[in-house]
Structure 1
């Protein structure tokens, strides 16, 4: 029976995607974790194919170590899309290097515990990643605003993928216990498709990011907090309207906060409290208002109006346009076209 090396196909697709990302944009510091994650998935796919497709049993020592590197790298990738108050240095950073060290130690002293260690590692990091995004899309304040919702969904899916990988590890362990590993090759090959899922996530959320200090003010007086929020929102509105910052397709919460001279978390908090919307929705309201003006007063095409108002993807533009107006751009133009523009 000819073995179809599905992991090799996965590895090839990952490498192709990695090359595309390297050529499509300059790899910034914020993108490096995502690029490393894709590379690790490709290497793991190749090792799985060699181990279970060609029977290279020596790789059984390498695979658990590679697997233990995956959850910390997933977390590092999403942390790169978050504003951090402090640089992650010293013990806090090096703790994430512990999983592969522990697995190597278990390989030498207690190999029977490796499966349980990997299951605990994957589930634990999945919960930690979900905790990163517990406040919603605004938690990813270094992501581009037109992609932040996709980035947050990717975070949730990544956590679910780690849990699913833990389930596969448990299934492999049970198969060895019950049927001496008769189905392991098939299960491992299918489980390896998770690499493709992680690839899709990195393609969605990879964006340049910079961390800016964001001290949170201690505001005990509700009236003072409200006054501060209004002042912050006035600065933001001025930037979005007068300086047309809403039309910047690369706008991020950190960039907006830097221009306003206000910490990013205070900007996010003020928008949340006064408008009951997240930052991306608030910015998109201004973009949709500009798009409506262009559709009403000019002969500009819908696509041109989309780009001119700051959107980069048609799906995001149409979704946000319907959220604000309950109509498609073309339908809205037909109902609201000014008489002067028809002359």
Structure 2
């Protein structure tokens, strides 16, 4: 008789815990698309390409949801229909009924295999499309770099001019500091002369010190003239400094405008990660399909070893208890597998309906604060995964 325990999911190549691998891959896919959309959103041509790929993946997840729902439904049918019928067929010796349901189960499984095969091909095609999109970004990046090279002379001249202005400004500030030190010194000397002049003016020895007073008057006037000259020089240096700063601002704006017009395109590293995630999901579906194919073969083997046409093999009577026990064990595994398929279907449902809402907002319309807020939010979610 057939080794009916082969119907148990635990003996298959695919563990029901495949959901644990599917969840992070699906979540990362949307988040990485979002990052790519943010980083390349300032370039309309590339933004459209990212949007198209994201929408296609969103639709792919919607189709995956339908396939997983079919897997969950088939698992439920095996538990609620096939296994009970097989048990009754063995208990009441009704082989025609059992054979009919085995054929029906084979039809269910064949339909799933075809559907999953189609999904595997679509994921493969989508991964290739993302790869092409990534190449397009690199091509645009190279074109931009060529433009930058063409404008290198202009940008270099602006940068050199800014560097010279920076040097001039530092010298200007140094000269102003030196002038201020000289002004402070001259001011102290002037105060000293004025104070001495007043003391001499009120001295009882006026006649004796009259020449000193005359000398001090001349010294005060000379010091005042020196101080006025220093203040004038300081003001000139200040005006010169403002002029340098104005030139700096002008050149900085020209240089910034030059860079903006050229457009510096970031590398599409996030799209490469999208390809990896899609490939991981594709591989999960490949394993899922191998599993269903194995189940199909197992059912056929069960039929061949248990029935001759639509008649039960005579020796089955002696192994009836073992057969019934193995079916009961398989029921428990298939129920758990069906629940996992439902959870996987739920993951695809969430991803296809809510994870791509970021496409509704044009990234170029975001303020710097809004852009940073979205970026930090995505990175936090990626770290959590």
Tell me the TM-score normalized by structure 1.
0.28
Higher helix share: 2
Structure with greater Cα Rg: 2
